[in-house]
């Protein structure tokens, strides 16, 4: 286990003020406040199932809509995650997860290689879940992937319930990342790449 795989990032714009702290080697303790109830629930699930200690405080322009709050939180969470990974040294790098939730099954595969990409194959049956627009879930995953340096493939294989589709996606991402950031003793602390650096 490497020491101090933690990071704290603060970002302030005219639209949002965000502070994120993450510990990759935590126990899934979370303290989340974005002003969007369902989004808080998803980020709590992300921390819990990733095994990441996670503090997120977001103040956004919710009087306009939720877009800036959701996307910018994804940006800062991705930045903090990447910083905590410390150059991706010594990790397994790849992770996969299948998450069933009742009638829904979602698959996630990630490569932490500093080559960000998002493949998004997720369809929602309703435009909102809780008070949150379902189109914003893609915005979060895109922002996270780009800023974390993650190649992220997320696909709902089947499902009907909007809540289950969204939540299984966050849980699948968390479990795939949990696997990918595990310390691999075979790497001897080096970046897992033929290039020698990621």
Q: How far is CA 191 from CA 62, 169, 185, 197, in A?
A: 40, 27, 12, 5
pLDDT of residue 51: 98
Share of residues in the chain with pLDDT > 90 (%): 90
Tokens at 86, concatenated: 């410390």
What tens digit of pLDDT does each residue of 11-59 get?
999 999 999 999 999 999 999 999 999 999 999 999 999 999 999 999 9
What tens digit of pLDDT does each residue of 71-114 get?
999 999 999 999 999 999 999 999 999 999 999 999 999 999 99
pLDDT above 70 (res 188) = yes
Q: How far is CA 109 from CA 29, 47, 156, 194, 196, in A?
A: 24, 17, 12, 21, 22
The 3-state DSSP class for residue 44 equals helix
Numbers of helices and strands, H then E, in the chain:
4, 10
pLDDT above 80 (res 195) = no
pTM, full prediction = 0.95
Question: What is 6-187's CATH number?
Answer: 3.30.230.40
Q: What is the mean pLDDT of the chain?
A: 95
Judge contact between 169 and 137, C-beta under 8 A: yes
């Amino acid at each position: 286990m490497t020491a101090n795989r933690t990071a704290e990032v603060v970002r302030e714009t005219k639209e949002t003020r965000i502070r994120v702290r993450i510990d990759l080697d935590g126990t899934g303790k979370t303290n989340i406040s974005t002003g969007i109830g369902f989004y808080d629930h998803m980020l709590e699930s992300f921390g819990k199932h990733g095994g990441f200690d996670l503090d997120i405080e977001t103040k956004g322009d919710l009087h306009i809509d939720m877009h800036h709050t959701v996307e910018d939180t994804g940006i800062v969470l991705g930045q903090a995650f990447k910083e905590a990974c410390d150059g991706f040294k010594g990790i397994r790098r790849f992770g996969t997860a299948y998450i069933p939730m009742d009638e829904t099954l979602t698959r996630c595969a990630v490569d932490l290689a500093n080559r960000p990409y998002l493949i998004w194959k997720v369809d929602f049956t309703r435009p909102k879940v809780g008070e949150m627009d379902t189109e914003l879930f893609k915005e979060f995953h895109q922002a996270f992937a780009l800023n974390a340096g993650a190649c992220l493939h997320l696909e709902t294989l089947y499902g009907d319930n909007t809540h289950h589709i969204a939540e299984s996606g966050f849980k699948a991402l968390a479990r795939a990342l949990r696997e990918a950031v595990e310390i691999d003793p075979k790497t001897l602390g080096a970046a897992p790449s033929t290039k020698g650096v990621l």
